[in-house]
């Protein structure tokens, strides 16, 4: 795709790529100020021109060779529909840098691993991780049980969070705090989620901190309400982050990728939830970049999810993301995470694109907005300069059905293109949207037979959690695929603050611990989340991105309390699984 096509069909990229600016309340960010925010490498004008000329035929250059040291006459001009627009030198230098940078995986060829239904072995990296995690979990389990435990008998535990915007994110955050406070988070192998809960997972991963050290700062950042203000105050708070925004969009442009509103949305999420160090390295903070860190076994393996719609958007394939691999359950191939987004042919990457940013993936995982694009765009449009470049986008949003969308798609290159064994060899791109469009907890990742999860803890904070809908979906999916699943008493699941479903020592079905967002009289008899959700949601409604510190503490405190109260039950479940595995080994 050419630069002209980028600017013609996706004008949002102009926010950064030409540094034409988002305005704040009083003035516009200048090119000089933007240049000071972006790290531009030193490189000669001649080298910039020779390199970029091979990649972009939309830019013409003018410069005087041999200018004295410290000066430059280089200027680029971008042609759009016959009109030319100046491109500053620092932007050209940054494009050059991105094309030649030294990403750790830049020179690594990505290969698609062939898998199929019924035969999806875990990648070697995940198998090695599980061994390391067992060693780590063993110490905590032995401390609780006061006995030595063979690593072969260590239960495999998964905690999964639901969708539900900041409500789900904070509910999952509080529950993880309770687990961390009792050291039981160190026994968890998998931490997965849908939509809002993945924002907590991604933010913790990016911090590389023990959970208890991460937690308080995370809550403070949530209370800063950048995301809410960005949607309601014309984006003026983004001015302070123009360097990050510019770097992200230029990066996409440099690799001929398709930027969408998800790029901006992911940025907003990352700029609110990430720590300052991560914000400063937003584009380089990728899910794949944490593979070595996770491999040590000191944290649960994070799992994010999206869905790929098909058959006129009436059905969905689930897609899971870990630092090691992206597994699309609708095709017969698994892609190394560092290569996800590259061009592929016959199972091999043909380009060396850097991995997609973690913030961008978090934008995909939580892309179900509660506001339609037609409602959002007029708020931001008046701040986009020069306005004529945004006219095509404005027309599409305000005068076509696009403006009614509340779930925004991301277009990522199909990794099994031309891979005949892959199951989808023709599509150039796959559409990815929030998995909540299909179901509000991860399904395939936790039912994956090769993971053999023994204890599954579900933190349910969906808007209709009072009906346990996702527990129904998970049970139905398990039974339809022939997976073992315990008997579920739905009356108990709906009426109790939490429930444990266990088929007894003779069954190999997983133990399910179900934790809905429910009233707990021992915590706060006046706080009934389910009653709030039945009547519009109050401060916990899915569309609320502006929580006060008191509201954050009230919500997270509820699920913190649940984790503390469930700690003895979780330990009992661990003991039951260990006993079961011992008996099974003895035959």
Residue scoring higher pLDDT (5 or 100): 100
Check pLDDT > 50 for residue 13.
Answer: no
Sorted by where each starts, the structural domains of the chain and their CATH numbers stand as: 3-100 (no CATH), 113-370+406-586 (3.40.1090.10)
pLDDT by residue (tens digit) across 110-124? 999 999 888 899 999
Cβ within 8 Å of residue 182, ≥6 positions away: 563, 564, 567
- What is the band of 400 on the pLDDT scale with cuts at 50, 70, 90? low
- What is the band of 9 on the pLDDT scale with cuts at 50, 70, 90? very low
Rounded Cα distance, 259 and 250, in Å: 10
State the pLDDT at residue 370. 47
- Give 6-64 as a DSSP string: HHHH-GGGHHHHT---BB-SS-B--HHHHHHHS------HHHHHHHHHTT-SSEEEE--
Q: Helix, strand, or coil here: 551?
A: helix
Check pLDDT > 60 for residue 5.
Answer: no
Mean pLDDT, rounded, for 391-417 = 71
Rounded Cα distance, 375 and 200, in Å: 27
Residue scoring higher pLDDT (130 or 27): 130
State the pLDDT at residue 352. 74
Which residues is 62 bridged to in the sheet? 75
3-state secondary structure 293-354: HHHCCCCCEEEEEEEEEECCCCEEEEEEECCCEEEECCCCEEEEHHHCCCCEECCEECCCCC
DSSP 8-state assignment for residue 121: P
State the pLDDT at residue 61. 73
State the pLDDT at residue 550. 97
pLDDT by residue (tens digit) across 60-105? 777 665 554 456 778 777 665 566 767 777 777 777 766 665 556 6
Mean pLDDT, rounded, for 348-355 = 84
State the pLDDT at residue 3. 37
Report the mean per-residue pLDDT for the chain. 82
**Highest mean pLDDT: which of 252-256, 284-288, 350-354, 501-505?**
501-505
The answer to which of 104-113, 386-395, 471-480, 508-517 has the lowest mean pLDDT is: 386-395
The three-point CA angle 417-418-422 to 5° equals 70
Number of H helices, E strands in the chain: 22, 17
pLDDT by residue (tens digit) across 301-335? 999 999 998 887 788 999 999 999 999 999 999 99
Mean pLDDT, rounded, for 394-401 = 68
Residue 179: in which H helix or E strand, if any? helix 165-181
Mean pLDDT, rounded, for 338-356 = 88
pLDDT by residue (tens digit) across 154-212? 999 999 999 999 999 999 999 999 999 999 999 999 999 999 999 999 999 999 999 99
State the pLDDT at residue 226. 52
Phi and psi at 417, nearest 5°, equal -65, 135
State the pLDDT at residue 87. 74
User: Do the beta carbons of residue 560 and residue 174 sit within 8 Å?
Assistant: yes
Check pLDDT > 90 for residue 373.
Answer: no
State the pLDDT at residue 187. 98
- What is the band of 232 on the pLDDT scale with cuts at 50, 70, 90? very low
Q: Is 570 exposed, middle or buried (0-12, 13-18, 19+ CB in 10 A)?
A: buried
**Percent of the chain beyond pLDDT 70?**
74
Residue scoring higher pLDDT (230 or 152): 152
Phi and psi at 409, nearest 5°, equal -85, 155
Rounded Cα distance, 470 and 439, in Å: 7
- Give 396-433 as a DSSP string: HHHHSGGGG-SB--EEEE-TTTT-GGGS--S-SEEEEE
State the pLDDT at residue 106. 61
DSSP 8-state assignment for residue 116: B
Cis ω before 386 (30° cut-off from 0)? yes
State the pLDDT at residue 57. 64
Cβ within 8 Å of residue 568, ≥6 positions away: none
Residue 358: name the closest of 300, 302, 317, 442 by CA: 302
Packing angle between helix 211-222 and helix 261-273, nearest 10 degrees? 120
Q: How many residues does the chain have?
A: 587
Residue scoring higher pLDDT (398 or 529): 529
Residue 126: name the closest of 531, 473, 452 by CA: 452
b/e map 150-164, b = 16+ CB within 10 Å:
eeebbbbbbbbbbbb
Rounded Cα distance, 11 and 17, in Å: 10
Residue scoring higher pLDDT (170 or 279): 170
Cβ within 8 Å of residue 467, ≥6 positions away: 494
**Percent of the chain beyond pLDDT 90?**
54
């Amino acid at each position: 795709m050419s630069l002209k096509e980028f600017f013609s069909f996706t004008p949002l990229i102009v926010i950064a790529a030409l540094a034409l600016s988002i305005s704040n309340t009083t003035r516009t960010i200048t090119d000089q100020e933007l240049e000071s925010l972006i790290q531009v490498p030193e490189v000669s004008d001649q080298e910039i021109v020779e390199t970029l000329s091979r990649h972009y035929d939309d830019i013409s250059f003018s410069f005087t060779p041999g200018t004295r040291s410290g000066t430059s006459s280089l200027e680029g001009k971008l042609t759009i529909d016959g009109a030319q627009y100046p491109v500053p030198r620092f932007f050209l230098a940054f494009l050059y840098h991105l094309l030649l940078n030294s990403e750790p995986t830049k020179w690594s060829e990505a290969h698609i691993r062939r898998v199929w239904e019924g035969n999806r072995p875990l990648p070697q990296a995940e198998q090695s991780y599980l061994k390391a995690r067992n060693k780590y979990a063993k110490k905590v389990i032995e401390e609780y049980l006061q006995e030595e435990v063979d690593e072969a008998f260590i239960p495999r535990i998964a905690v999964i969070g639901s969708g539900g915007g900041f409500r789900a994110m904070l509910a999952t955050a509080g529950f993880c705090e309770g687990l961390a406070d009792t050291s039981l988070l160190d026994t968890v192998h998998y931490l997965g989620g849908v939509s809002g809960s993945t924002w907590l997972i991604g933010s913790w991963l990016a911090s590389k901190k023990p959970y208890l050290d991460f937690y308080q700062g995370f809550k403070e950042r949530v209370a800063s309400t950048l995301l809410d203000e960005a949607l309601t105050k014309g984006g003026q708070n983004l001015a302070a982050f123009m360097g990050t925004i510019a770097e992200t969009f230029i990066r996409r442009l440099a690799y001929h990728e398709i930027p969408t509103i998800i790029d901006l949305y992911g940025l907003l999420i990352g700029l609110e939830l990430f720590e300052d160090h991560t914000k400063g390295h937003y584009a380089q903070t990728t899910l794949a970049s944490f593979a070595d860190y996770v491999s040590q076994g000191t944290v649960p393996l994070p799992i994010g999810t999206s869905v790929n719609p098909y058959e006129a958007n009436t059905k969905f394939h689930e897609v899971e993301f870990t630092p090691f691999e992206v597994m699309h359950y609708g095709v017969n191939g698994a892609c190394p995470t560092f290569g996800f987004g590259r061009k592929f042919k016959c199972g091999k990457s043909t380009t060396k694109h850097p991995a997609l940013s973690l913030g961008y993936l978090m934008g995909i995982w939580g892309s179900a907005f509660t506001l339609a694009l037609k409602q959002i765009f007029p708020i931001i449009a008046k701040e986009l300069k020069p306005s004529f470049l945004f006219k095509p986008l404005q027309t599409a949003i305000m005068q076509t059905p696009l403006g009614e969308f509340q779930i925004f798609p991301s277009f990522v290159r199909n990794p099994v293109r031309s891979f005949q064994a892959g199951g989808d060899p023709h599509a150039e791109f796959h559409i990815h949207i929030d998995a909540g469009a299909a179901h509000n907890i991860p399904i395939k990742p936790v039912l994956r037979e090769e993971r053999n999860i023994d204890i599954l803890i579900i933190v349910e904070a969906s808007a209709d959690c009072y009906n346990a809908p996702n527990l129904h979906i998970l049970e139905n999916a398990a039974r339809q695929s022939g997976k073992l699943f315990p008997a579920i008493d739905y009356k108990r699941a709906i009426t109790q603050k939490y429930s444990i479903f266990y088929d007894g020592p003779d069954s190999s079905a997983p133990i399910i611990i179900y934790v809905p967002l429910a009233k707990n009289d021992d915590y706060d008899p006046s706080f009934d989340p389910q009653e709030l959700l039945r009547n519009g949601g109050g401060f916990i409604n899915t569309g609320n991105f502006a929580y006060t510190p008191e509201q954050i503490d009230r919500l997270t405190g509820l699920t913190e309390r649940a984790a503390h109260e469930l700690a003895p039950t979780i330990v009992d479940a661990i003991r039951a699984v260990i006993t079961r595995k011992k008996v099974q080994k003895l035959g």
